[in-house]
Structure 1
Amino acid sequence: MATVDLPTALPAARPSRVRGWLRHVELGVPLALLALVFGACFLWPLVASVPEPIGGDVLESNLPAFSPGHLLGTDPNGNDVWSRLLHGGQSSLIVGVAVNVLGLLAGGTLGAVSAYLGGAVDAVIMRVLDVLIAFPSLVLTLAVAQSLGPSQVNTILALAFFSVPAFARISRAATLRLREQPFMVAAHLSGTRVWRMLFRHLAPNIAPQLVTFSMLGMGIVIVIEGALSFLGLGIPPPAPSWGNMISQGQASLSATPTLVVWPSLALFVTVLAFNLLGETLRGRWSGR
């Protein structure tokens, strides 16, 4: 009698589907959170009727949530909390994006030039950056912010200046790995100019590491900006930011804790989303 061989194992299609689904989720969740935060902060005031974040009526101070015309109520100055939360998010996000863009461009360029040229150029650039890294950056940031005065532009400049060394180190390490690759050697032997080597051959290959670090750095910068604003050295009141909203809300924490809860929650969700996105991108690009 003929025998029929039964399969000893089922196909592994289901686990692969689960892994694929999880890969989409780990990227989709932080992107969805960031889309929600950016959309609320930048698009909501354009498409919906939102009160001005400053210049509120003192007679309408400390209104509870869901009061007519005030979704999250008002603060002790009569300003709409929802409006201040959205405009404060704009300030915090602009600082975070601007600092990381400036740090990426300046630090990425310095690190790539330093590693590609080598020799005395590399030694001088890296020793200067080592001196900056040796100092406690947060203390120096506080000192610089205090000397320049509280404003959004000064906050961006102070934070961007101290983010350059970290970006430069990452860029330099990536460039050193790529400098001896066959395509780089071939481009060099063909007489390609230095600027073309840097921007056409090096930049696209070191960009993933720099972008990943910038995603992780976004959360750090937003937290530091919040701390500076909390201390009165960041974005000055009455202009809102999440940091100075928390600082102002602590005065009436026992009576109206929501004045601290809402900006703290917005800060937490935004930082969490950037950190999750950065970790996901690092895992994917490191496994390429």
Structure 2
Amino acid sequence: MAATETETTTTSPKTVGVAPLPPDPKVSRSKLRRHLLVWVPAGVVLTIVLACFVGPLIFPLAPPVGGNVLESALPPGTPGHPLGTDVNGNDVLSRLLHGGRSSLIVGITVNVIGLTIGGTVGAISAYLGGKSDSLIMRALDVLIAFPSLVLLVVLAQILGPSLPNTILALTAFSIPAVSRVSRSATLRVMNMPYLQAAELSGSPGWRILLRHVVPNIAPQLTTYAMLGMGLVIVTEGALSFLGLGIPAPRPSWGNMIYDAQQSMSATPMLVLWPAVALLLTVLSFNMLGENVRDEVTGK
């Protein structure tokens, strides 16, 4: 009898397996759609970057300047000139890729400098708080209050048309906007328990900013930079179109459109190629930035 009771108590009941629920097709489609909205524009951006920076090194293209005038305005499909030539006999495809390189260099450099300086100023302003924060923000508000395009044209006119001056002029107007985004993100981080614990532990301010603040505001600043890439590229194109950005003979999409407008009725494709490249690049950066922002914020 005792043995029977022991066997009864030691015998464990059989567990009945529960079949997992099948995945919800609506959720799967939603995730796939979100992934596509990020990876498709990212793939387009990567393709454009590789084409502009690596393409001229791999494919045997003609130089972007110094073309033969006797070969001017050749139609697309001409042997040796897939997209034809412009009125000066320069290969359009070569100028398109080199012009994209110039525009991307401006966009990337302006955003990197703007993120570095503006992000630092905004984070320090929010961390210090009080009168220092108010003073820094009022100075930035003064810069933002002025019509940016008008001041940008004036500054570009004063500095003169060149690639470094174009980068400098655009950077001067990207820093205030980035600073406000950085300050807003830092203020949200300041209320987190781990940051308050770091302050109570006696960590110096620079260490708290580098170790706790910067990693947590980096996603917001990165998504803002992606959205800013399109704006910077469009603005650079506008300055180059007005003759205040990257000067000829160095190609950019803006000065290519400006040069081609004089013969637009006879050769409309010379305007269409850089315009489509500019539109596709800006649209891809904007879509990528918006969708990455939605992924970060969980929308």
C-alpha separation between the residues in 2 aligned to 1:64 and 1:170?
48
Residue 167 of structure 1 corresponds to 178
C-alpha separation between the residues in 1 aligned to 2:23 and 2:49?
40
After superposition, what is the alpha-carbon deviation per residue over 1:9-35, rounded to whole angstroms, capped at 9, x for unaligned?
A: x95532222112112211111011101
Which residues of 2 match residues 1-288 of structure 1 at below 5 A? Answer: 11=22, 13-287=24-298
After superposition, what is the alpha-carbon deviation per residue over 1:175-223, rounded to whole angstroms, capped at 9, x for unaligned?
A: 1111121100110111111111111110010111111111111001100
Counterpart amino acid of 1:227? A
Counterpart amino acid of 2:234? V
Counterpart amino acid of 2:289? G
Q: Secondary structure at the match of 1:113?
A: helix
After superposition, what is the alpha-carbon deviation per residue over 1:101-156, rounded to whole angstroms, capped at 9, x for unaligned?
A: 11111111000000001122112211110110010111111100000000011000
C-alpha separation between the residues in 2 aligned to 1:172 and 1:269?
32
Aligned residues: 279
C-alpha separation between the residues in 2 aligned to 1:20 and 1:188?
39
Can you give the 5+ residue segments of structure 1 that lack an aligned partner in the other structure?
1-9
C-alpha separation between the residues in 2 aligned to 1:22 and 1:134?
39
Identity of aligned residues (%): 61
Q: Secondary structure at the match of 2:54?
A: helix
Q: Which has the larger radius of gyration?
A: 2
After superposition, what is the alpha-carbon deviation per residue over 1:220-275, rounded to whole angstroms, capped at 9, x for unaligned?
A: 11000000000000000111000000000100000000000000000000000000
After TM superposition, the score normalised by the length of structure 2 is 0.91
Counterpart amino acid of 1:14? P
C-alpha separation between the residues in 2 aligned to 1:266 and 1:155?
20
Q: Secondary structure at the match of 1:147?
A: helix
Can you give the 5+ residue segments of structure 2 that lack an aligned partner in the other structure?
1-20
C-alpha separation between the residues in 2 aligned to 1:123 and 1:27?
37
Counterpart amino acid of 1:102? I
Counterpart amino acid of 2:86? D
Counterpart amino acid of 2:133? D
Q: Secondary structure at the match of 1:272?
A: helix
Residue 5 of structure 1 corresponds to none
C-alpha separation between the residues in 2 aligned to 1:27 and 1:115?
31
After superposition, what is the alpha-carbon deviation per residue over 1:21-76, rounded to whole angstroms, capped at 9, x for unaligned?
A: 11221111101110111111011111111111000010111111111111100001
C-alpha separation between the residues in 1 aligned to 2:128 and 2:268?
56
